[in-house]
A and B are shown apart, each in its own frame.
Chain A
């Protein structure tokens, strides 16, 4: 009883802190240079991290197994991973846009986990025989860490796309004469790209605002690449440890189960992303498009397959209840 109360309190604290952090971010976006507020949002994320850690530990103690056996727990773990990525000092220097991405992601996952949609599965369940293995911690935690990092990285790419496309449209309206200098304007992808670089060449030298924009885009591109590379490592380890586990429990290391297949599709899509980046010509917009596709595919893999509740991975399946 005391555990469930504690859990309840921790859930609410972490949720409210994340909301406050997001509000602070919005304020700092609108009003520049409020360092004090910015500092407090940093502290807020650290608080959230510890709250969710406490939540997971509580669940671990009273259920007696690692809290990753159903969707609710994995969602909590996802928001924990998101805040972990934020905490890791390696990324601290670039907290600005990373926390702008992570904050809302954390609030959505946390919000969805605690919302009424999933009330049925809040209770921690007993562990079915197939899940009773040391591989559970390794496989599921690696998968969800991978998902969290890949989600962050691909969201950065989505942000890049949004900014790049908006900028283009602005150019289209404001600096038509520049475009005319370069000949006709095509909407096809490649021509579009060429035009863009030409326009940048022409404008960036005398317009500091565009210069900062392109710097920002470059930063987004670079950090989404680094975060996705990190997530790709986790995903690889997660899939492979899952395969080894499956060979112990189900009798085959690969059985084309829908969840397995979609995890593999996710892996392939991000492998495509990493390969596209080796070609300089395709860096930036093209790789960002692939990463955005990857973003959708992670959600299909993580949620869509569970929604159908098919295959061997049906532990995490759920039914949406409206009451």
Chain B
């Protein structure tokens, strides 16, 4: 009894739902293809007829019901009522020439849920695969990201108190309380944002499972149409007098179609991959999301500034980013900075930074040596070392041929790439309260500007030039400027997965541009009836087919009779 009840309810919903779809299909046709209004009326009456057959399970004997739908209504009597709605529904959408939407959420959300899942999970699936919900999620993600670029990220709370004060809220309501409560100061790791992304991922999965895969099954089931009426109902249709379906088949093959011929019927398709590719796009996106999650939870990051000639241990620099981070063997590797240097353009601007690095294992054996630069990192045992920054660590000078002394340099101004470093050589009694000395400033490793005790400009010297400069009676030689290299280190187990996702995404997005075109033809005496449809390139399709049909040879009277005899025999 219970089962009966359920099936009854379902068929009710189905019929209502189908009416809905068909109404839409009909509306679409009338709105857009006005020149074929005769055709529309025909299809309308057919639609109403077929709705009747499904919802009331009565076979109204309309003369334009094709064999296929008759087969189907036979099927409905045999198969359990819970399942029968699905194929006929999808067919209705397909044959209605509705452009065969790749996704039609309400359709699918009801469809697969019946047989496979019951109760709560089914409902969740149905809700998640709802297209408006998915679109709303995408809008929210986009809006949150935009907000994240407007609100300064990663500042201290005081910054937000100042920027979004309570007594003068932005737009009348937006204060620092909003920012801090919702975690918008770190938008891209805030629960709100990540939650929406996760929801979007769930929608992606649900949509792929309940909508795209069933559509795939329908699309794969190629079939002949055996009645001229059914062929004429396609989006594009034409009639060729005195032609043969074989000639058409050869021409279609030449145009890249897969052609199937059976007796007088022809079926041809092209660009089937274009129908499958959106599934690939979704799967690739899921792969990227999975990889991104792994990156966020399982990686190590760290940065270090090392003066030339010194070394560090990789494990000391790296810090874990999430609970999945596990250290590896290569964390014990020691990195030695052999040399840090820059290339310059003729105009004096920096062209490139280079760090000559050597890697030593626990036994002190050199395992790798490479000169890295920006855009050319070092990779060893899952660890990547990037050249990202630089600074000046010390100035090597001789005073009156004594030394050389190393003077540590201090950053005076750090503003992006425009840096300024300074150091000071005390002259006379270093313990006196107003100690004076020689100041040296440098913007890069190229030239050092020297000032005397009074603070007056004394001259410019290049390191390595060996050219002495006399300041207040001292002979000073700038022997060398020692730079330190700024390195970023990371391990990221997610990268291979993300890259796989990237590759798949690029490929499937390109394939998605292809249009899945289907053509049916039927030899009807000496005339050939041709119908066809395509899911994307609706503008070019009729032109292309017209061009093809122009090439179909016309058969002269005498041969046409034998031709048709051959066909029937």
Q: A264-B145, A275-B135 are in contact. Are A232 and B352 (CB under 8 A)?
A: no
Please give me the residue from chain B that is nearest to A194 by CB atom.
Answer: B27
Q: Which of chain B's residues have a CB closer than 8 A to the CB of A275?
A: 103, 131, 134-135, 138
Please give me the residue from chain B that is nearest to A284 by CB atom.
Answer: B31
Nearest CB in chain A: distance from B322 CB, A: 14
Q: A243-B502, A254-B292 are in contact. Are A279 and B131 (CB under 8 A)?
A: yes
For chain B residues 98-145, which have a beta carbon within 8 Å of chain A?
Answer: 98-99, 101-104, 131, 134-135, 138-139, 141-142, 145
Q: Which of chain A's residues have a CB closer than 8 A to the CB of B492?
A: 252
Cβ A197 vs Cβ B30 within 8 A:
yes
Cβ A261 vs Cβ B388 within 8 A:
no
Q: A129-B351, A247-B495, A249-B374 are in contact. Are A256 and B148 (CB under 8 A)?
A: yes
A38 at the binding interface (Cβ < 8 Å): no
For chain A residues 222-276, which have a beta carbon within 8 Å of chain B?
Answer: 222-223, 226, 229-230, 232-233, 236-237, 240, 243-244, 247-254, 256, 258, 261-262, 264-265, 268-269, 271-272, 275-276
B5 at the binding interface (Cβ < 8 Å): no
Cβ A205 vs Cβ B37 within 8 A:
yes
Q: Which of chain A's residues have a CB closer than 8 A to the CB of B276?
A: none
Cβ B104 vs Cβ A129 within 8 A:
no
Q: A223-B539, A233-B509, A278-B102 are in contact. Are A251 and B490 (CB under 8 A)?
A: yes
| Bound Cα distance from A197 to B30, whole angstroms | 8
Question: For this complex, into which size category does the number of interface residues on chain A fall?
Answer: 35 or more
- Among candidates A262, A264, A269, A278, residue contacting B104 with C-beta atoms closer than 8 Å: A278
B94 at the binding interface (Cβ < 8 Å): no
Q: Which of chain B's residues have a CB closer than 8 A to the CB of A276?
A: 135
Cβ B145 vs Cβ A214 within 8 A:
no
A23 at the binding interface (Cβ < 8 Å): no
Cβ A200 vs Cβ B31 within 8 A:
yes
* Interface of A (DSSP majority class): helix
Q: Which of chain A's residues have a CB closer than 8 A to the CB of B24?
A: 280-281
Nearest CB in chain A: distance from B42 CB, A: 16
Q: Which of chain A's residues have a CB closer than 8 A to the CB of B51?
A: none
Q: A278-B101, A280-B98 are in contact. Are A252 and B490 (CB under 8 A)?
A: yes
Q: Using an 8 Å CB-CB cutoff, how does the interface string of B336-351 with A read, 1 for contact, 0 for none?
A: 0000000001010111
Q: Which of chain A's residues have a CB closer than 8 A to the CB of B502?
A: 240, 243-244
Cβ B149 vs Cβ A132 within 8 A:
no
Q: Which of chain A's residues have a CB closer than 8 A to the CB of B373?
A: 129
Nearest CB in chain A: distance from B31 CB, A: 5
Q: Which of chain B's residues have a CB closer than 8 A to the CB of A253?
A: 295, 495, 498
B488 at the binding interface (Cβ < 8 Å): yes
A204 at the binding interface (Cβ < 8 Å): yes
Nearest CB in chain A: distance from B117 CB, A: 24
- Among candidates B34, B145, B388, residue contacting A250 with C-beta atoms closer than 8 Å: B388
| Bound Cα distance from A305 to B149, whole angstroms | 9
For chain B residues 249-276, which have a beta carbon within 8 Å of chain A?
Answer: none
For chain B residues 174-218, which have a beta carbon within 8 Å of chain A?
Answer: 187-188
Cβ A201 vs Cβ B30 within 8 A:
yes
| Bound Cα distance from A249 to B543, whole angstroms | 48
| Bound Cα distance from A133 to B374, whole angstroms | 9
For chain B residues 270-296, which have a beta carbon within 8 Å of chain A?
Answer: 292, 295
Q: Which of chain A's residues have a CB closer than 8 A to the CB of B101?
A: 278-280
| Bound Cα distance from A291 to B355, whole angstroms | 47
B424 at the binding interface (Cβ < 8 Å): no
B506 at the binding interface (Cβ < 8 Å): yes
Q: Which of chain B's residues have a CB closer than 8 A to the CB of A223?
A: 539
Cβ B543 vs Cβ A93 within 8 A:
yes
| Bound Cα distance from A254 to B490, whole angstroms | 14
Cβ A280 vs Cβ B495 within 8 A:
no
Cβ A265 vs Cβ B134 within 8 A:
no
Cβ B539 vs Cβ A279 within 8 A:
no
Q: Which of chain B's residues have a CB closer than 8 A to the CB of A278?
A: 101-104, 131
A31 at the binding interface (Cβ < 8 Å): no
A2 at the binding interface (Cβ < 8 Å): no
Q: Which of chain B's residues have a CB closer than 8 A to the CB of A248?
A: 375-377
Q: A236-B509, A256-B148, A261-B148 are in contact. Are A250 and B386 (CB under 8 A)?
A: yes
Cβ B28 vs Cβ A280 within 8 A:
yes
B559 at the binding interface (Cβ < 8 Å): no
Cβ A129 vs Cβ B506 within 8 A:
no
B310 at the binding interface (Cβ < 8 Å): no
B353 at the binding interface (Cβ < 8 Å): yes
Please give me the residue from chain A that is nearest to B499 by CB atom.
Answer: A244
| Bound Cα distance from A112 to B262, whole angstroms | 62
- Among candidates B99, B349, B350, B353, residue contacting A280 with C-beta atoms closer than 8 Å: B99
Q: A197-B30, A219-B539, A268-B138 are in contact. Are A129 and B353 (CB under 8 A)?
A: yes
For chain B residues 16-42, which have a beta carbon within 8 Å of chain A?
Answer: 24-25, 27-28, 30-32, 34-35, 37
Cβ A229 vs Cβ B513 within 8 A:
yes
A119 at the binding interface (Cβ < 8 Å): no
Nearest CB in chain B: distance from A108 CB, A: 25
Nearest CB in chain B: distance from A253 CB, A: 6
Cβ A197 vs Cβ B513 within 8 A:
no
A126 at the binding interface (Cβ < 8 Å): yes
| Bound Cα distance from A200 to B539, whole angstroms | 21
Cβ A269 vs Cβ B142 within 8 A:
yes
Q: Which of chain B's residues have a CB closer than 8 A to the CB of A128?
A: 350, 417
For chain B residues 133-177, which have a beta carbon within 8 Å of chain A?
Answer: 134-135, 138-139, 141-142, 145-146, 148-149, 153
| Bound Cα distance from A249 to B377, whole angstroms | 8
Q: What are 22 A-to-B residue pairs whose CB atoms are below 8 Å? A: A93-B543, A201-B31, A211-B35, A219-B539, A226-B537, A229-B513, A230-B513, A233-B512, A240-B505, A243-B498, A251-B488, A252-B490, A256-B148, A261-B148, A265-B145, A268-B142, A279-B101, A279-B131, A280-B28, A280-B99, A280-B101, A283-B28
Question: Chain A residues in contact with chain B, CB under 8 A?
Answer: 93-94, 126-130, 132-133, 135, 197, 200-201, 204-205, 211, 214-215, 218-219, 222-223, 226, 229-230, 232-233, 236-237, 240, 243-244, 247-254, 256, 258, 261-262, 264-265, 268-269, 271-272, 275-276, 278-281, 283, 305
Extra pairs beyond A200-B34, A256-B187 (10, CB < 8 Å)? A94-B539, A129-B373, A135-B375, A211-B34, A243-B498, A253-B295, A262-B149, A271-B138, A280-B24, A280-B25
